[in-house]
Amino acid sequence: MQQYITAKGDTVSRIAARHGLTPEHVVQGNPWASRQPYLYPGQMLYLPSAPRKRYAVQEGDDAGRIAGLFGVSTEELELLNPGVHTARYCSPGKILVIPSASPRRSVYLRGEYGPAELEQDIGSLTSRYPFIAHTTIGSSVLGKPLHLLRIGNGPRHLHVNAALHANEWLTSPCLMSFIEEYAAAYAGGTGWNGHAAEEWYNRWTLWAVPMANPDGVELVQEGVMPGEPSYDDLMQWNSSRRNFRHWKANIRGVDLGDQFPAFWEEEQARRGVKGPAPRDYGGIAPLSEPEAAALAELALAHPGEAAVSLHSQGAEIYWNYRGLEPPESQALAVKLAAASGYRAAMLSGSDAGYKDWFIQTFGRPGFTVELGIGKNPLPLSDFDDMALETGLILAAILSDMQ
């Protein structure tokens, strides 16, 4: 056992990932951690030693085959098993220690995915792929940058945003994962799941805001401590609950999914929420929040052929808005559904969303995509499937819209 003192930003999942453990290992050594909504700076944890994977050599095995089986290099295997290249140390029945496989990509989960993880991944991707342009479109209420990534050099524009709702933060690495795989395919002159990345690049410009609500995401993941800004207000708006995992709004208790000027007044009357809350309060006016205003300004500055707002959960694709959507929207939604295995669904009785505003303003296809199935925040184990589904949906737009 080793002792660990928690710091700001630590969570059970992040600590586990950093030490080669699972969250269950951390909780096993610290049972109280499963009953406490968040870790507070200064708490002491007892961490077990990272367990090593082991393997019994089978008939016909050699070092190269074993390394390939576990996704490691023969050099890494040799470090923990000196002499493994020889028949003597790689004979049937010999027990080998298997090193942890190194991540094959920059975007992967190291616990919860928050603003710090996003900035780290943006740095890695823009360094590796200089053709990914990075800037910001403003700041959140608490001054966190609203990052914008741009890839492609085509005349057609596709706008995509993620994590507009705080507890739907898993959509953010899903979008980042697709950007990385798209960039790798373009740089390598290869395709992406049967699609031509070079054609995407020459035909489209993709504008991606991977974390539209960074303050809310951090609140959901880390909570708020006494003495921090807005502590008293947030606790009041959250009915004195210390757990914010159900929180969808920004740090001012405004639901950014109800912030856009598309029959905003009707949506507020329908919701009936009169002040700051975990969800469904649309603010004092449309685009009163800097995060929503920045998304609208970006779309107005670069009018798009289509837009996608990534949410969770439900495995559904909403494509219509008050009959204002163009004729091609439904057919395209069916293609997106076929590509992803999701359901293309008509939605009524809902206004003031990003998709609603985009359709009303530009008369072009707009989609709200509900990734995954379950209860928000969705588990980290859903990430790989959701990331692939995100890519399949965006790939269908980039490839099918002429």
d(CA 329, CA 320): 7
d(CA 158, CA 205): 6
| Plot region of 189 (φ>0 → left; ψ -120 to 50 → alpha; else → beta) | left
Q: Where are the alpha helices (DSSP H) in 143-260?
A: 171-188, 197-203, 214-222, 231-237
- Map residue 138 onto helix, strand or coil: strand
**Can you state the percent helix, strand and coil of the chain, rounding each to 5?**
40, 15, 45
Catalytic, 291? Answer no
d(CA 181, CA 200): 13
Q: Per the residue annotation, which of 291, 325, 370, 389 is the catalytic one?
A: 370
d(CA 262, CA 45): 49
Residue 154: closest CA among 197, 210, 209, 211: 197
- Map residue 219 onto helix, strand or coil: helix
- Contact criterion met (CB below 8 Å) for 217 and 166: yes
Q: Which residues are catalytic?
A: 370
